[in-house]
Amino acid sequence: MARIVMKFGGTSMAGIERIRHVAGLVRREAEAGNQVAVVVSAMAGETDRLVQLCREAASLYDPREYDVVVASGEQVTSGLLAITLQGMGLNARSYMGWQLPIRTSPAHSAALIDGIDVDVLERVFDGGGIAVIPGFQGVAADGSVATLGRGGSDTSAVALAAAMRADRCDIYTDVDGVYTTDPRIVPRARKLAAVTYEEMLELASVGAKVLQTRSVGLAMREKMPVTVLSSFEDKPGTMIVDDDRIEELDMERQLITGIAYDKNEARVTLTGLPDQPGAVAAIFGALAEANINVDMIVQSVPRAGEPSVLTFTVPTASLPQTTEVLGRIKSEVGFGEVLTDTNVVKVSAVGVGMRSNAGIAAQMFRALADRGINILAITTSEIKVSVLIAEEYTELAVRVLHTAYGLDADDDA
Amino acid sequence: MARIVMKFGGTSMAGIERIRHVAGLVRREAEAGNQVAVVVSAMAGETDRLVQLCREAASLYDPREYDVVVASGEQVTSGLLAITLQGMGLNARSYMGWQLPIRTSPAHSAALIDGIDVDVLERVFDGGGIAVIPGFQGVAADGSVATLGRGGSDTSAVALAAAMRADRCDIYTDVDGVYTTDPRIVPRARKLAAVTYEEMLELASVGAKVLQTRSVGLAMREKMPVTVLSSFEDKPGTMIVDDDRIEELDMERQLITGIAYDKNEARVTLTGLPDQPGAVAAIFGALAEANINVDMIVQSVPRAGEPSVLTFTVPTASLPQTTEVLGRIKSEVGFGEVLTDTNVVKVSAVGVGMRSNAGIAAQMFRALADRGINILAITTSEIKVSVLIAEEYTELAVRVLHTAYGLDADDDA
């Protein structure tokens, strides 16, 4: 007997037929003798519809009331799944975030989970029951409904699994796992049997949108094994685990686990930057104050006393705000032009194996150079090498690197 | 300054444009210096959609989970109206049933309101705020969401008005008041300036579906003045008040206030009923046990020892169950045939004025006889005379009685 959390996303809950299928998956786990808590998203499209209604109601809407509106989507699917499970003869009940409660910070529409009381759940399990819980929502200390931000149901599921000391957390979605790269670009991409939390964080943040990043970070801190799998096909998914379990779960691991890409980066170039102490600090200080996440940074090395060129990337969505901040500090800091370019892509090779292997980055630069792809910026972390290149080379670069790192599936796979 | 409850039905909340209009009506009351609590229904059609989802999920659905699903409709409109009011610069917030709380009985999907805590509302009013409250829902003692049954938002509004000792409760709907009869049948029907609670109960239960009957009964017990008016047109509605205020509010009252009709009655006739003590009691006892509401009853007077004929009406929806019950007790009680007829209509003349005036019933019978309309059954109460006639005479009978009792509007009205 295991204690598990099963989480189902919006496409898995999109309509009564899909919900019935989900109920069948829940039944299978319950009938295997497991203690099951189910976390559900709203029906696909429903949250978008509710957000749109809030936007139409007022351009600057109160996040507290926004939360009241959007939390209703998961409330509906929780009730419907409980009804469907009962219709199959199972002992199931829904529990809203305020009923458990799932306690959150007061940051409406972007709340953090402070804690989850599991007394109610323990009683449900003692009575042989199944608990259905809406994802994405909890209750703030003042008794108001608070939501966790888009995609928050993954975080709800992992937090619940940690609170109830579950053996595992299964995230059912419309993809069947995590791949070595985007299969639309590389048909020979392989599904990974397992990845580490850190790899998943890097893969998620650079474009493999399978799990909300926040939920992976939480799983890592709590050492909660998470499995990503499909609610549409009955086959094994990808386990996301701690470093020390990765070898046993995936014997065929390469040094590099996957190739990711992210088109949501914009390049900003500042010319004529004075060679003065504090100039760069003033720029990044002002951007940090405006909550703009700067990612890759490259500074040309000038001769002493001569102006230099500074290049960095920001999320494309933050670009208007970035140019606004830069315009404000331009005369004070004293730089020349502000050039921006959104036709860039960040391509990354990710893998815990590179920790113990030099030469991974060099292999990347050589493979790209062989195809004439110009590298605009580079960043590296312990388990990742990223390059910024022109967007038109995205597919070519991903394919070349996928092959170079030995990730292509065998023909007979 | 007055303290008021404003309630808006589903057509008034159907979409952001309508909600914006509602917000304007609320603003007008708030800017006049009134303390305002607003009770809202779900958007028109939304509750039907949610009920349908529950039905599709399982044929026998758990009312507790049904309540979780259907309560979401009012949650959405509450948040949206609060956002819209805030967008107009007003200090508005939503409070769900479990947040006030509105305490209910545990009878899910048909709960009764046990009480409403007004501490939160008093603080809102002290701070010059507007409270937006979803109708139709509250929280049971076990902490589960409970709904009041369809149309329950009217009851929520009246109960809230009573709890917060409001000066009045304004029910905004898609009709502009209560009429002397159905204007689709009688174009010269007049809107009533005022009706008494009792008249409204009789008018509502016989077809004038403006307010949920339960809410009128509650308003009567609490002596809460209720006004029915349109959220679509800016003109006075109909006040529903206590007997002792009716004269001052409507100087032009006739003896009869209105003519109502109800096609949802079915006639049942039992032949060959033995002239034995207890036979009739056995029949109505069995029907009462099955929760079937018997309305009009007529028994032919037999000669001593001879069998008689018993005729009564039941709601058309209860007819299958009625024939089932009668079939079960037929041999035991010993009657002949069971004849049923759904092509009947109950037409009623309603008015507190008839208490002090004999001859109202006689006037009705004569007016119908003059047109050759055969009366199948009669019931009277202190303020109502009803006749059962063939359904095909509905429009004719309503028109004839409307004229006979002097209810037709003047040509220049």
pTM comes to 0.83
Within 10 angstroms of residue A71's Cβ, the number of other Cβ atoms is 27
Nearest to B143 among A94, A99, A143 (CB): A99
Q: What is the rounded distance in angstroms from the CA atom of residue B144 to the CA atom of residue A372?
A: 65
Inform me whether the pLDDT recorded for A60 exceeds 90: no
- Reported ipTM: 0.80
Among candidates A54, A93, A94 on the partner chain, residue whose Cβ is nearest the Cβ of B80? A54
Q: Which of A53, A78, A84 sits opposite B80 (nearest CB)?
A: A53
* Residue A321 confidence (pLDDT): 93
Task: State the Rg of chain A over Cα.
Answer: 24
Q: Check whether A411 has a pLDDT greater than 70.
A: no
User: Is the Cβ pair B98, A93 closer than 8 Å?
Assistant: no
- In DSSP notation, A118-151 reads -HHHHHHHHTT-EEEEETTEEEETTS-EEE--TT
Q: Which of B83, B86, B123 to mutate to test the interface with A (most CBs of A within 10 A)?
A: B83
Whole-angstrom Cα distance, residue B367 to residue B308? 29
Contact B353, B199 (CB under 8 A): no
**Partner-chain contact B54 A80, CB within 8 Å:** yes
Query: Is A323 labeled as ligand-binding?
Result: no
Tell whether A144 lies on the interface with B, counting CB pairs under 8 A: yes
Secondary-structure percent of chain A, ordered helix, strand, coil, rounded to 5: 40, 25, 35
CATH class of A245-413: alpha beta
Residues of B with Cβ-Cβ distance to A56 under 8 angstroms: 16
pLDDT digits (tens, 9 = 90+) for B19-59: 999 999 999 999 999 999 999 999 999 999 999 999 999 98
Query: What is the number of alpha carbons within 13 Å of residue B373 lying toward its C-beta?
Result: 28
Ordered by start, the domain boundaries in chain B are 3-174, 245-413
Indicate if the pLDDT at residue A289 is higher than 70. Answer: yes
Residue with the larger pLDDT of the pair A346 and B413 = A346
- B210 assigned to a ligand binding site: yes
- Is position A47 annotated in a ligand binding site? yes
| Identity of the residue numbered A120 | V
Helices (H) and strands (E) in chain B, counts: 13, 20
**pLDDT band for position A413 (cuts 50, 70, 90):** very low
pLDDT value for A208: 59
Closest by Cα among B145, B1, B162, B167 to B65: B145
Is the Cβ pair A68, B57 closer than 8 Å?
A: no
A412 has pLDDT over 60: no
DSSP structural state of residue B149: -
A285 touching chain B per CB within 8 A: no
B130 vs A contacts (CB less than 8 Å): none
Facing residues of B113 across strands? B104
Tell me if B26 sits within 8 A of B190, measured CB to CB: no
pLDDT at res. A206: 58
Residue B413 amino acid letter:
A
Model confidence pLDDT, tens digit, residues B218-231: 999 999 999 999 99
CA-CA distance, A283 to A298, in Å (whole number)? 14
**Residue in this structure with the two tokens 């003349």, named with its chain if needed:** B349
Asked if B75 and A71 come within 8 Å (Cβ–Cβ), the reply is: yes
Closest-CA residue of A relative to B82 is A65
Low-confidence ranges of chain B (pLDDT < 50): 413
As a whole number of Å, the CA-based R_g of chain B is 24
Interface touch A83/B71, C-beta < 8 Å: no
Q: Note the CATH number of domain A3-174.
A: 3.40.1160.10
**A58 closest CB neighbour out of B50, B58, B84:** B84
Q: What are phi and psi of A103, to 5 degrees?
A: -85, 135
Per-residue confidence (pLDDT) for residue A125, from 0 to 100: 97
